[in-house]
Every structure is written in C-alpha cells, then in structure tokens.
Amino acid sequence: MLFYYNSDLSETPREMSSQISKFVHPEIIGNRQVIVLCIGSDRSTGDSLGPLIGYKLIKSGLTNVTIYGSLKNPVHATNLNATIDEIYNLYNNPYVIAIDASLGKKDHIGCITLGTGALKPGLGVKKQLPEVGDIHITGIVNLSGAMDTLLLQTTRLSTIMTLADVISEALINSLN
C-alpha cells in the first residue's frame, strides 16, 4: 500500500498524520518499540532530508519513540548496517518507520510517499543497501537521471525544508 502527498498543500500534514496513526495504532503494533530511522547525509543537500527530520523530531521532545539519524549523528550508507544491527539487538521486534530522500519524475518533486513495507535506501543512486522498515516515508527531492549523485548535490534547500517540515509535523502529531 502506497500513499502520495503533495508537500505544498496545507492539509498534507494532517492527512499524513491520520494515515501514520492507522499504521502505528497500538492495536496493530502491540507493545513494540517505535523506532524512527532517518537515513541520509548532512553533507549533501539532496540527501539531508532524513537528518533534518531526525533533528526536528529530537527537538520536538517526543518521548515514546526512539529516533536514529539526525544532523549531529546521521545514519548513512557507511553506518546503516551497523545501525540496523544495533536497533535489532537493543529492541525485541521493533516497529521501524524508515525515512529517506528519493529521486523521481519532474512533476513529483516535492511529493511525499508513505507506504507499508521496507524502504530500499540508496536505490536512486544505485547503491546496494539493506532494506529496512515496517513502513517507510520518502520525500522526492529531485529528478532521477544519469547523474543522480550530482543531482543530490544541486537540490534546492527550499524543497528539502518544505518536505522536512511537513513530514516532521505529520510524525509529531501521529506519534505524540
């Protein structure tokens, strides 16, 4: 199941929050610890969506979830495996919400996807990374094309900030 949201619409955080709440409802996840895994690097504008969301979630003071990945401590390609191992060693059957930036079509830039099942990080830049998550959220930050790594370097910060604001608000509202 996959849902698409336009980050420019004022009702998007509320609509996303409602759907996230349905996925993370206590009757569905039971007593599982909720982990928000924000994937990306603070060294590339286009890949900074995850760390920015992690930063915003930590600042919000959420107490009933554990957050991995932030501007101070990003989770990226080189430490993703170790972070996933840590999560599954520390928590018995955690409920993981995986978040990452993605690339897509021109008319999808600024859109958000929310879906069930694992996230496939690094797919847009042709990296082989482990799939992770019970549900996943992606923000489409730029075009997919021949020079994807360069596109991540030239992504507009305003796109990233808008996506981070909307996704963070939706998560805070649904996880509080």
What integer is the mean pLDDT of 119-128? 75
What integer is the mean pLDDT of 114-121? 94
pLDDT band at 154 (very low <50, low <70, confident <90, very high): confident
Neighbours of 58 (CB within 10 A): 17
The pTM of this model reads: 0.93
Q: Where are the alpha helices (DSSP H) in the chain?
A: 12-24, 26-29, 49-60, 80-90, 148-153, 157-175
Q: State what percent of residues in the chain have pLDDT above 70.
A: 94
pLDDT of residue 125: 60
Chain segment 156-165, per-residue pLDDT in tens: 999 999 999 9
Chain segment 21-35, per-residue pLDDT in tens: 999 987 778 889 999
Domains of the chain: 2-175 (3.40.50.1450)
pLDDT of residue 29: 80
From CA 18, how far away is CA 140, in angstroms rounded?
Answer: 21
